[in-house]
């Protein structure tokens, strides 16, 4: 097959792929997920402002809400990665690990480090929620 024909096939296929990628239905974020995200955003803001005590309270609240949400609806082992772990479950475990690290940093008066850990946990929560 010559290169011009290959280019033409790619040019014709790209718009169709772009259209189809936008057709996948988005799963709405649960109300618990939204509350956890807002709490973590506030905790990050407080940690960056140097208010470790307030950030620590919000980290605790977010961690408890995350654990409670997991108890209500545990993961169904449908989708697995090569490691054999559900990607959302892995993101959830990573978020809890980052929150524990953030709590340690906040109680040690390391507000900047706590804020960075909270930011990582927030990204993991967003992955878990499917955003």
For residue 64, give the CATH number of its domain: 1.20.120.660
Three-class DSSP category at 130: coil
Contacts of 41 (CB under 8 A, 6+ apart): 122
Q: Is 74 contained in some domain? A: yes
| pLDDT on residue 112 | 85
Contacts of 57 (CB under 8 A, 6+ apart): none
Domain count of the fold of the chain: 1
Identify the domain containing residue 117 by its residue range.
30-129
Q: Is 93 contained in some domain? A: yes
Mean pLDDT for 53-74 is 85
Q: Is 21 contained in some domain? A: no
Q: Is 12 contained in some domain? A: no
Q: Is 100 contained in some domain? A: yes
Q: Is 16 contained in some domain? A: no
Q: Residue 24: is its pLDDT beyond 50?
A: no
């Amino acid at each position: 097959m010559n290169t011009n024909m290959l280019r033409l096939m790619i040019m014709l296929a790209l718009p169709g792929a772009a259209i189809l990628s936008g057709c996948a239905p988005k799963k709405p974020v649960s109300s618990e997920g939204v509350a956890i995200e807002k709490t973590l955003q506030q905790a990050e803001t407080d940690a960056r402002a140097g208010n470790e005590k307030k950030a620590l309270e919000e980290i605790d609240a977010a961690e408890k809400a995350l654990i409670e949400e997991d108890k209500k609806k545990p993961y169904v082992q449908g989708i697995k990665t090569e490691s054999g772990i559900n990607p959302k479950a892995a993101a959830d475990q990573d978020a809890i690990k980052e929150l524990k690290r953030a709590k340690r940093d906040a109680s040690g008066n390391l507000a900047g480090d706590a804020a960075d850990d909270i930011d990582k946990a927030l990204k993991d929560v967003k992955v878990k929620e499917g955003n």
